[in-house]
Structure 1
Amino acid sequence: MTVNSSPKIGPVIQTERKARRLTLEALAGMSGVSKSMLSQIERSEANPTFAVLWSLTQALGLDFADLIAGGATTNEHDVIEVTPASHTPEIRSGDGLCRLKILSPPRLAGHTEWYAVEIAAGGRLDSDPHAKGAVEHFTAWTDGIIIRSGRGEAEVKRGETARYPADVPHAIANGGTETATGLLVLLYR
């Protein structure tokens, strides 16, 4: 590809579709893009819109960057993706007492997300309601965790997992005297 040429998206879509053993009809059903449009895209006879490409990448489980770069590795089962610690995104609370490291890949945002949570003594992570039906699963790696969801409250000890509605106001607090840690998984339904 030269600087002025566009990426060859059609062959990438076809390669990725075939690697997943999908027919044109199956991918059309998964993506909402018509079978005839898919065929034209794969043969580089159509110039798809961003919305069409987005639908295809979501259906194929591809990162948009992989599509532009020429596709994912030909055999996904042989790929081990390692994210350096310095590239792991982090969220900190305004008071600096709570830190969440975003461990899930960006393409899963809004579907399934997981975080390493660290809360200093006395810290509290308050959350507004997430989308209807959202549920959180918090596994405590240390003692001192208190979970609040709606009107409910529970202490979670090291090794225990709390599952609770996240479509209501909820909080994870450290009631102990030392830093508390755990794994938070957020599932959207």
Structure 2
Amino acid sequence: MDSVSDIDLDRRLGARIKGLRQSRGLTLDQLAERSGVSRAMISRVERGESSPTAALLDRLCAGLGVLLSALFREEAQGGPLARRSEQPVWTDPDSGYVRRSVSPAGTGSQIEIVEVEMPAGARVLLDAPRGGFRLDQQLWLLEGELSLTVGGREHRLAAGDCLAMLLDGPIAFHNPGEVPARYAVVLTAADL
């Protein structure tokens, strides 16, 4: 059973997605076409009736032309400091990976920093079509091990390794280890 905070987060995510869709003048059908997510699923997510996975949110963000971090930002302008206790945290219901938006909101910076903890054995496939939405990122593995497949090429990372990549196609994350992998992602896009 979902906790109250999970249900509240689903509702806030849904409202944020709906607000972003409407601010871009997109109908449900248009976002469905752009994202590859069914109109019915988008409607359920917007109403907070579904706990969206990382893969689903990735597709919706690609269709909206925003970074995943945009879904967790508050509308109000923030300051230059983001206290750890105030940083938005989200857990993927499929893989169990935990995503923390580290960067302060509302600074106008085109750079986002995200901290991720991927459980042992977990896998996540992000395969949303980017359609001209350029996303550059660097992944710095802090603890554990990680296998990333980008553009059909597998990269095996050990603690301390950093991989720079252009995310313009599918990317698969896998923690082949027996302990959680913790990493930081620094990313930038033309339209945050």
The equivalent of 1:175 in structure 2 is 176
Q: Deviations over 1:127-147 (max 9, x none)?
A: 235553311210001232111
Is contact 1:144-1:156 (8 Å) kept?
A: yes
Question: If the length of structure 1 is used for normalisation, what is the TM-score?
Answer: 0.52
Q: Normalized against structure 2, the TM-score is what?
A: 0.51
- The whole-number CA distance in structure 2 between the counterparts of 1:100 and 1:184 is 10
Q: Which amino acid aligns with 2:118?
A: I
1:64 Cα offset (Å) = 6.0
Query: Could you say which residue in structure 2 is the equivalent of 1:113?
Result: 112
Gap runs ≥5 in structure 2: 1-74
Q: Between Structure 1 and Structure 2, whose CA radius of gyration is higher?
A: 1
CA distance change for structure 1 residues 106 and 65 in 2, over 3 Å: closer, same or farther?
closer
Shift of 1:152: 1.4
Q: 1:116 to 1:129 in 2, by over 3 A?
A: farther
Q: Is the 8 A contact 1:93 1:125 kept in 2?
A: no
- Aligned-residue sequence identity (percent) comes to 20
Please tell me the residue identity of whatever aligns with 2:170. P
Q: 1:108 to 1:162 in 2, by over 3 A?
A: farther
Query: Across the two proteins, how many residue pairs are aligned to each other?
Result: 114
**Whose relative contact order is higher, 1 or 2, with alpha carbons under 8 Å and at least 6 apart?**
2
By how many angstroms is 1:84 displaced?
3.5
Q: Quote the offset at 1:100 in angstroms.
A: 0.8
**Counterparts of 1:120 and 1:82 in 2: how far apart (Å)?**
28
2:106 match: secondary structure: helix
The 2-side partners of 1:172 and 1:181 are apart by: 12
Q: Which amino acid aligns with 2:115?
A: A
Q: CA RMSD in A?
A: 2.7
Deviation at 1:121, TM superposition (A): 0.5
Which residue number corresponds to residue 13 of structure 2? none
Return structure 1 stretches of 4+ with deviation > 4 angstroms: 63-66
Shift of 1:181: 0.4
CA contact under 8 A between 1:110 and 1:188: conserved in structure 2?
no
Equivalents in 2 of 1:145, 1:65: separation in Å?
A: 35
Specify every segment of 5 or more residues in structure 1 that has no aligned partner in the other structure, as ranges.
1-62, 67-71, 73-80
